[in-house]
Amino acid sequence: MNSPDALPAGQREIAQFPRFGLSQFADRFPGQPAATSLRIVGAVANEIEIENALAELPRVEQLSDFHCVTTWSHLSLRWSGVRFRDFYERIIVPRAAPRNGSGFVVLRAQDGYRSCLLLEDLLGADVLLADTLNGQPLSIEHGAPLRLVAPAHYGYKSVKHLSRIEFCFDDRGYRPAAFRFMEHPRARVALEERGRWVSGWLLRYLYRPLVGVTITRFDKAMRAYRGSNG
């Protein structure tokens, strides 16, 4: 039985909020952790680069839980930034003019990571472009200078070090960062859409053994980076 504040199916709370991701990204870091510009490309009338992407938009603060597909959850993170929906309606539409039907969006990051979401999911009221976490500017660990936060979707959709937003008509040209079965196009936590072709509960058991080693690996890489970058 689920109590009202129970975790989503298959998730377990952890006390820390680790730096995390696919192991091949542990040693990759943003080239320009202070540059808050975003490029809007793909199926748009004008490909543009927006400096200070959040500057002209209303700021919001949001408490949300974070659910990684590998089954760890960290509760009650306090993000602030702007709603993706405001950024879309007030900046992307008037300046870049996405083509009708370009509802598949690829999100790319300074470390080479990428993920995708449907435009309709990105327009959800709880999807943010965040630049602070728990009252502090985003750290490199958690996505400086700017990250997506999409709490209703598994963490792999919440792209850190966001640099480029690409509008597409479909997923044909898109090459996921991980194996294809590991990236569900929507990845809704409430529906346990962990991946495709393989059921969510089975993936729980495949992923769970990776959590500890991945946290250690990302932490070690971060220490090495701090050691050589002051």
Ligand X SMILES: Nc1nc2c(c(=O)[nH]1)N[C@H]1C(S)=C(S)[C@@H](COP(=O)(O)O)O[C@H]1N2
Q: In the bound complex, what is the minimum distance in angstroms from residue 70's beta carbon to Mo ion?
A: 6
**Tokens at 138, concatenated:** 């985003």
- CB-based contact 192:69 (threshold 8 Å): no
| Residue (83 or 115) nearer to ligand X, CB | 115
164 binds ligand X (CB under 6 A): no
Q: Give least dist CB 204 to ligand X, A.
A: 15
109 membership: H or E segment, kind and range: strand 104-109
Listed in sequence order, the residues at least 6 apart from 11 whose beta carbon sits closer than 8 Å to its beta carbon are: 67, 71, 72, 73, 189
Residue 111 engages ligand X in binding (rule: CB under 6 A): yes
Two tokens at 196?
Answer: 């495709």
Nearer to Mo ion, 83 or 160 (CB): 160
Nearer to ligand X, 16 or 100 (CB): 16
Alpha helix locations (H) across 46-145?
A: 84-87, 93-96, 119-122
CB 11, min distance to ligand X, A: 12
Complex with ligand X: residue 20 or 88, whichever CB lies closer: 20
User: Residue 69 CB, nearest distance to Mo ion (Å)?
Assistant: 5
CB neighbour list of residue 213: distance below 8 Å, 6 or more residues apart: none
Of 50, 158, 183, 192, which lies in the binding site for ligand X, with binding defined by CB under 6 A?
158
Measured from the CB atom, the residue of 75 and 97 that comes closer to ligand X is: 75
Interface residue with ligand X among 50, 106, 152, 159 (CB under 6 A) is: 159
| Per CB under 6 A, 103 contacts ligand X | no
Q: Scan residues 4-63 and list those touching ligand X (CB under 6 A).
A: 17-22, 25
DSSP annotation of 75: E
**Chain residues in the site for Mo ion (CB under 5 A):** 68-69, 155-156
Minimum CB–partner distance for residue 45 and Mo ion (Å): 34
CA distance 211 to 23: 11
CA distance 149 to 156: 10
